Structure 1
Amino acid sequence: MASTYESFNLRTTPERFYIEACDDGCVDVLTIDRVSTEMTLTVRRDIPASAETRPICGLMGTLRLVAGMYLVVITKRKKVGDLLGHAVWKALDFDIISYKKTILHLTDNQMQDNKTFLSMINNVLHTDGFYFATDYDLTHTLQRLANTSPEFQEMSLLERADQRFVWNGHLLREFIAQPELHKFVYPVIHGFITMKSSCINGMVFEWSIISRRSCFRAGVRYYVRGIDSEGHPANYVETEQIVQHSSSKASFVQTRGSIPFYWSQRPNLKYKPKPQISKTMNHLDGFQRHFDSQIILYGRQVILNLINQKGSEKPLELAFDKMVTSLGNGMIKYIAFDFHKECSRMRWHRLQILLDMVAEMQDEFGYFLVDADGKVLMNQEGTFRSNCMDCLDRTNVIQSLLARRSLQSQLRRMGVLHTGQQIEDQSDFESKFKNAWADNADACAKQYAGTGALKTDFTRMGKRTQWGLLMDGWNSMIRYYKNNFSDGFRQLPIIMVVAFSMCIICLLMAGDTWTETLAYVLFWGTASVVTGGLILFNGLDFVDAPKLVQKEKLD
Structure 2
Amino acid sequence: MKNPLTSPLFSPRHTTPEKFFIEACDEGADAVLAIDRVSNEMTLTGKKDVPPSAVTRPICGIMGTIRLVAGMYLIVITRKRNVGSLLGHAVWKAVDFDVISYKKTVLHLSEIQSQENKTFLSMLNNVLTTDGFYFCTDFDLTHTLQRLANTSPDFQEMSLLERLHKFALPVVHGFIVMKPCRINGKIFEWILISRRSCFRAGVRYYVRGIDSEGHAANFVETEQIVLYEGAKASFVQTRGSMPFYWSQRPNLKYKPKPIISKTTNHMDGFQRHFDSQLLIYGKQSILNLVNQKGSEKPLEQAFAKMVSGMNNGMLNYIAFDFHKECSHMRWDRLQILVDSVAETQDEYSYFMVNSEEKTVAQQRGVFRSNCMDCLDRTNVIQSLLARRSLQSQLQRMGVLNVGQRIEEQAEFEKIYKNAWADNANACAVQYAGTGALKTDFTRTGKRTRWGLLMDGWNSMIRYYKNNFSDGFRQDSIDLFLGNFAVDESDGPTPLRVQKDWKFLTLPIIMLVAFSMCIVCLLMAGKFFSCLKTCLLCKGHRHVTWVYPPLHPCCSSLIVK
- What is the TM-score with the length of structure 2 in the denominator? 0.84
Kept in 2, the 8 Å contact 1:485–1:492? The answer is: no
Q: Find the aligned partners of 1:142 and 1:253 in 2 and give their Cα distance.
A: 10
Q: Does 1:187 align with 2:170?
A: yes
- C-alpha change, 1:518 and 1:324, in structure 2 (3 Å) is same
Q: Does 1:413 align with 2:416?
A: no
- C-alpha change, 1:112 and 1:519, in structure 2 (3 Å) is farther
Cα offsets for 1:425-478 (capped at 9, x unmatched): 000001000001001100000000001100000000000112111111111111
Aligned-residue offset at 1:7: 2.0
- C-alpha change, 1:460 and 1:495, in structure 2 (3 Å) is closer
Q: Does 1:464 align with 2:477?
A: no
User: Alignment partner of 2:96: what SS?
Assistant: strand
- C-alpha change, 1:376 and 1:45, in structure 2 (3 Å) is same
- C-alpha change, 1:323 and 1:160, in structure 2 (3 Å) is farther
Q: Find the aligned partners of 1:405 and 1:43 in 2 and give their Cα distance.
A: 53
User: Alignment partner of 2:76: what SS?
Assistant: strand
Q: Does 1:382 align with 2:382?
A: no
- C-alpha change, 1:28 and 1:460, in structure 2 (3 Å) is same
Query: Which of 185, 204, 211 matches 1:202?
Result: 185
Q: Does 1:333 align with 2:311?
A: no
Query: Which of 124, 127, 149 matches 2:130?
Result: 127
Query: Which of 441, 446, 449 matches 2:429?
Result: 446
Kept in 1, the 8 Å contact 2:161–2:167? The answer is: no
Q: Does 1:274 align with 2:273?
A: no
Aligned-residue offset at 1:61: 1.2
Kept in 1, the 8 Å contact 2:178–2:191? The answer is: yes
Determine the structure 1 residue equivalent to 2:144. Answer: 141
User: Alignment partner of 2:291: what SS?
Assistant: coil
- Give the AA of the match of 1:297: I
- Give the AA of the match of 1:210: I
- Give the AA of the match of 1:371: N
User: Alignment partner of 1:349: what SS?
Assistant: helix
Q: Find the aligned partners of 2:334 and 2:451 in 1 and give their Cα distance.
A: 18
Q: After the TM superposition, which of the residue ranges 33-42 and 492-501 deviates more from structure 2?
A: 492-501
Aligned-residue offset at 1:195: 0.5
Q: Find the aligned partners of 1:158 and 1:183 in 2 and give their Cα distance.
A: 5
- What is the TM-score with the length of structure 1 in the denominator? 0.85
Determine the structure 1 residue equivalent to 2:420. Answer: 437
Q: Does 1:424 align with 2:400?
A: no
Q: Find the aligned partners of 2:323 and 2:188 in 1 and give their Cα distance.
A: 36
Q: Find the aligned partners of 1:502 and 1:272 in 2 and give their Cα distance.
A: 21
Kept in 1, the 8 Å contact 2:235–2:363? The answer is: yes
Aligned-residue offset at 1:53: 1.6
- C-alpha change, 1:353 and 1:126, in structure 2 (3 Å) is same
Query: Which of 98, 102, 106 matches 1:103?
Result: 106
Identity of aligned residues (%): 72
Q: After the TM superposition, which of the residue ranges 36-45 and 295-304 deviates more from structure 2?
A: 36-45
Query: Which of 74, 80, 94 matches 1:91?
Result: 94
- C-alpha change, 1:499 and 1:286, in structure 2 (3 Å) is closer
Determine the structure 2 residue equivalent to 1:493. Answer: 506
- C-alpha change, 1:22 and 1:330, in structure 2 (3 Å) is closer
Kept in 2, the 8 Å contact 1:157–1:187? The answer is: no
Aligned-residue offset at 1:57: 0.9
Aligned-residue offset at 1:152: 2.3
Q: Does 1:370 align with 2:353?
A: yes
Determine the structure 2 residue equivalent to 1:359. Answer: 342
Aligned-residue offset at 1:49: 2.1
User: Alignment partner of 1:251: what SS?
Assistant: strand
Kept in 2, the 8 Å contact 1:366–1:381? The answer is: yes
Determine the structure 2 residue equivalent to 1:350. Answer: 333
Determine the structure 1 residue equivalent to 2:213. Answer: 230
- C-alpha change, 1:21 and 1:144, in structure 2 (3 Å) is closer
Kept in 2, the 8 Å contact 1:503–1:521? The answer is: no
- Give the AA of the match of 1:106: L
User: Alignment partner of 1:321: what SS?
Assistant: helix
Aligned-residue offset at 1:153: 2.5
- C-alpha change, 1:193 and 1:108, in structure 2 (3 Å) is same
Aligned-residue offset at 1:79: 0.6
Cα offsets for 1:80-120 (capped at 9, x unmatched): 10001111110011000000011121222222221111111
Residues 150-165 of structure 1 aligned to structure 2 (within 5 Å): 150-155=153-158, 157=160, 160=163
Cα offsets for 1:496-554 (capped at 9, x unmatched): 379769989x999xxxxxxxx969869x99xxxxxxxxxxxxxxxxxx9xxxxxxxxxx
Query: Which of 387, 391, 395 matches 2:378?
Result: 395
Kept in 2, the 8 Å contact 1:6–1:23? The answer is: no
Q: Find the aligned partners of 1:415 and 1:425 in 2 and give their Cα distance.
A: 16
User: Alignment partner of 1:183: what SS?
Assistant: coil
Q: Find the aligned partners of 1:450 and 1:358 in 2 and give their Cα distance.
A: 32
Determine the structure 2 residue equivalent to 1:73. Answer: 76
Using CA pairs below 8 Å that are at least 6 residues apart, which structure has the higher relative contact order? 2
5+ residue gaps, structure 1: 162-181, 509-516, 526-543, 545-555
Determine the structure 2 residue equivalent to 1:512. Answer: none
User: Alignment partner of 2:411: what SS?
Assistant: helix
Q: How many residues align?
A: 493
- C-alpha change, 1:145 and 1:503, in structure 2 (3 Å) is closer
Q: Does 1:46 align with 2:39?
A: no
Q: Find the aligned partners of 2:514 and 2:147 in 1 and give their Cα distance.
A: 59
- C-alpha change, 1:350 and 1:76, in structure 2 (3 Å) is same
